Amino acid sequence: MNKYLEKDHLPVLKEGQKIKGKVLDITSRAVYVDLGIAGTGIIYGKEIKDGFGISRKTLSVGDEITAAVIEPENEDGYVELSIAEAVREEAWKDLQEKEKKREPVKVRILDANKGGLIIELNGIRGFMPVSQLTAEHYPRVEDGDKNKILEILKKFVDTEMTVCVINADPEEDKLIVSEKEAFKDKEKEFISEFKVGDIVEGEVSGVVDFGAFIKFLPPSKKKDGTDEDKLEGLVHISQLDWQLINNPRDVIKVGDKVKAKIISIDDTRISLSIRALKDDPWMSVKEKYQVGGEYKGKIKKFNHFGAFVYLDDDIHGLAHVSSFPGYPRKSIDEVVELGKEYMWRVMSIEPDAHRMGLKFVGEVKKGVEEKKTVKKQSTDKAELAEKQPTEKKAPKVTAKKEETTDREKKEEKKKDKTEDNAQKKESKAKKEKLTEKK
């Protein structure tokens, strides 16, 4: 039989062999496939459900499909086919092609979790991380609560999004897509309208622990632009203001209208600065504070290096842990209190680096003025040093003089008394002699 078929050029089908054909008919139980001279193939109901999945909804008569031979000839005379493996293999090949070309495609959102969205493409499930969403769809949650993020993500379920495949790995059964990648070219086009140093006006779209996001329109879209045309830049916490900020939410809020300066552009990432549009208070710091001077300052923050101290609203310094009494036996919070004012000595000032080294002096004493300059402080000490020896020596000299005077007076009195006694004796002796003569 085989020889006969080979002679008439009829194909000899084998189990597992891949074969192409066109859909002849679709019923609720089976799909019939024209295999040409190889005959008619049949795909049964369960195989259709498992193999086509969502794609079965769009399958039409005349579509060309690839299937694997399960049985070259079944009891009904059909070539029994399986499309599950064949379709899956073709689907992955198509996905890998899409990854290479970065071709934008539409996907359906099946579900959401705290990390992102579950999607389906070519009948294969995939994942889109939150970080791959565009600024328009990215869930901005003030406190970063993951449950609130999940609530926002769930709103996208059963909708469609335009994405690009960024990782298609059939061996690991991993499919990752990105919405940001699909709009990358458009973003680059808009970003090209800007350069480092430009000032942008926009609205705060999100505040996180490490800074704030600002949305703004490119110049070409200022008049007729929509939210989809907006670009988004990040103002890092260190670029919000010149002062030390622990929580960005203390100085900026969602919805605030702000101006910012572009400080860097890296591909589609734009870094902004709000503080760059404000005068740098550190440029005049030496006019207010001098090395060696002692000033009042409030402790705003502790860390393992020491304490951050604000001498005013803008200027702060670090008092190293070793400058506190009791170090290393006592921790800083055993010596001083957060939020309280103390006296500090300025040990170093580096305006360009925005750094100041401080040393703990002690409690603020009422009625005692701050020592504003080193020169005055030195002069006061010198004057005190000059006065102290004089005041100490004077009493000693006086005491010696007084002792000498008293001693001399006593000796004179004694001498006078002796002379008086001598005179009395002499007078008595003369008297006795006169009496005897008489």
pLDDT (tens digit, 9 = 90+) per residue, 321-342? Answer: 999 998 888 889 899 999 999 9
- Kindly list the domain boundaries of the chain, sorted by start residue: 2-87, 95-182, 187-277, 287-370
pLDDT of residue 399: 45
pLDDT score at 415: 54
Cis amide prior to 395 (ω within 30 degrees) = no
Going from the C-alpha of 16 to that of each of 68, 84, 95, 168, the distances in angstroms are 5, 12, 23, 25
Q: Give 306-320 pLDDT, tens digit per residue.
A: 999 999 988 999 999
Mean pLDDT check: name the lowest of 133-142, 205-214, 251-260, 422-431.
422-431
Name residue 438's amino acid.
K
Query: Residue 371: which residues within 8 A CB-CB, separation 6 or more?
Result: 293, 294, 377
pTM of the model: 0.57
pLDDT of the residue at 387 = 43
- 242: Cα separation from own chain's centroid: 16
Separation CA 81–CA 72 (nearest Å): 9
3-state secondary structure of 19: strand
- C-alpha distance from residue 340 to each of 243, 304, 314, 321 (Å): 18, 19, 17, 17
* 252 pLDDT above the threshold of 90: yes
Reported as a single tens digit per residue, the pLDDT across 119-170 is 999 889 999 999 999 888 888 776 667 888 899 999 999 999 999 999 999 9
Which CATH class, in words, describes the domain spanning 95-182? Answer: mainly beta
Nearest to 200 by CA among 219, 227, 179: 219
For the record, the structure tokens of 311 come out as 């001498």
pLDDT of residue 290 exceeding 60, the answer is yes
Between vectors from CA 271 to CA 103 and to CA 179, what angle results, nearest 5°? 20
pLDDT of 254 above 70: yes
Which fold does the domain 2-87 belong to in CATH?
A: OB fold (Dihydrolipoamide Acetyltransferase, E2P) (2.40.50)
Instruction: Kindly tell me if the per-residue pLDDT of 376 is higher than 50.
Output: no
Per-residue tokens: 434: 């006169």
Architecture of domain 187-277: Beta Barrel (2.40)
Q: From residue 275, give the alpha-carbon distance in Å to each of 50, 158, 221, 323.
A: 59, 43, 26, 31
Contacts by 360-363, CB closer than 8 A, 24 or more apart: 360/319, 360/323, 360/324, 360/325, 360/335, 360/336, 361/294
Query: pLDDT per residue over 378-434, tens digit each?
Result: 444 444 444 444 444 444 444 444 444 556 555 655 555 555 555 555 555 555 555
18 φ, ψ (degrees, to nearest 5) = -85, 135
CATH superfamily, domain 287-370, is Nucleic acid-binding proteins (2.40.50.140)
